[in-house]
Structure 1
Amino acid sequence: MILNRDFYQRDAVTVARDLLGKVLVHETEEGITKGIIVETEAYMGTKDAAAHSYKSKPSGRTNVQYKEGGYAYIYLIYGMYYCMNIVTNEINVPEVVLLRALEPVEGIELMQKRRGTDKIKNLCSGPGKLCGAMGIRTDNYGMDLCHSQLYLEDKTYPKPIEILASKRINIDYAKEAKDYLWRFTIKDNKYISVKVN
């Protein structure tokens, strides 16, 4: 079952936790790829110094963050890696969840071809890696996750999930926000990007 709008129309921290165990799906001309979400980070907009929408108004790449929850916010970092975020909450509350890692479950050969590696643990163990494996780029920016070929499925994770909360990665510039425990991972999952301390 595809997740509906109501799922996304909550605060980013809540959605970030609840996304763990859900399945990201991308249907493309090359084929379908799927991965279980095993690591997320919440970015809480105007009250979060690490967020792109902190102290800003809707403009340029952040425009989609001001829509209602359930849209894809994609951007390029270091001029070479794409990152996929999911817009959450209500209109004009610019919160997002960054997808940091997936456990590949379908279309693995296509993922390997896209990433140029046969190491399954390395296919989606980071924001840039998962976008590469899933074929997600800036042309997916603004896609409605409730009505497009990029969406999330609510499936039962094979075992009970224990969630770990930790500090977010690579945001040392964000003053006190760098210490917020807004990174969420499935405990003992081998596909996460960085081991939880």
Structure 2
Amino acid sequence: MKSKRLDSDFYTRDVLEVAPDLIGKILVRRLPTGEELRFRITETEAYRGVEDTGCHAKAGKTKRTETLYMKGGHTYVYLCYGVHHLINAVTGAEEQPQAALLRGVEGFYGPGRLTKAMQITKDLNAIDLTKSDEIWIEDDGTKPKYVTGKRIGIDYADEFYRNIEWRFTAPSEIKPKKTIKIKADSSKKKKA
């Protein structure tokens, strides 16, 4: 089956449907040079509105979180701990903040490694995944099984939301045998 870009109907569903359905889909990033990076999504997490104390929307709509309140199908990209950019696919209806964090793609485990490898920064925040020529997600018909687990890095959430299994991870057969290493930018090396 030829890959097809996901449309608005895919994203405007509840995050608890979208996040697991993203497993096996292909994240595509077209660089300014025209080169396309294409990686299969292997791990996601669901964040579900103001009631979810693990979700950025828990404190309501702010300048930082306004993208979460957009109609499903937009990117929500933010800087985590001042170090790593993380990318989410906004889901659901407008003004109902939900998003699926993209935690991993083939070869790059962890949301910071994913965004570094694919050159995703805050410049790609609030992009419409259904129309953009810079970033989008495709479906080639692959429908892997997945396992669920607790979300990672949300110690601040209350016990219920810390323990709920809203992380979705692909089985080992679609994961590579080893992680691809990212070369460090030599201009940022510390002086001796």
For normalisation by structure 2, the TM-score amounts to 0.85
1:41 aligns to 2:45 (yes or no): yes
Select the residue among 43, 54, 62 that pairs with 1:50: 54
- TM alignment of 1:16-35, pairs within 5 A: 16-30=19-33, 31-35=35-39
For structure 1, the 5+ residue unaligned runs are 104-120, 192-197
TM-aligned CA deviation for residue 7 of structure 1: 0.1
1:125 aligns to 2:132 (yes or no): no
User: Paired residue for 1:163?
Assistant: 146
Where 2:79 maps in the other structure, the secondary structure is strand
For structure 2, the 5+ residue unaligned runs are 177-192
User: Paired residue for 1:96?
Assistant: 99
How far does the alpha carbon of each residue in 1:88-117 deviate from its partner, in whole angstroms, 9 at most, with x for none? 0001100000000001xxxxxxxxxxxxxx
Q: What value does the CA root-mean-square deviation take over the aligned residues?
A: 1.2
User: Paired residue for 2:74?
Assistant: 71
User: Paired residue for 1:62?
Assistant: 65
Select the residue among 154, 164, 170 that pairs with 1:186: 170
Q: Please give the alpha-carbon distance, in whole angstroms, between the structure 2 residues aligned to 1:63 and 1:164.
A: 31
TM-aligned CA deviation for residue 55 of structure 1: 3.4
1:2 aligns to 2:5 (yes or no): yes
Q: Report % sequence identity.
A: 39
TM-aligned CA deviation for residue 13 of structure 1: 1.2
* Amino acid in structure 2 at the alignment position of 1:137: T
TM-aligned CA deviation for residue 156 of structure 1: 2.6
Tell me how many residue pairs correspond in the alignment. Answer: 169
TM-aligned CA deviation for residue 14 of structure 1: 0.8
Q: Please give the alpha-carbon distance, in whole angstroms, between the structure 1 residues aligned to 2:32 and 2:12.
A: 30
* Amino acid in structure 2 at the alignment position of 1:147: K
For normalisation by structure 1, the TM-score amounts to 0.82
How far does the alpha carbon of each residue in 1:102-133 deviate from its partner, in whole angstroms, 9 at most, with x for none? 01xxxxxxxxxxxxxxxxx4xx2110000011
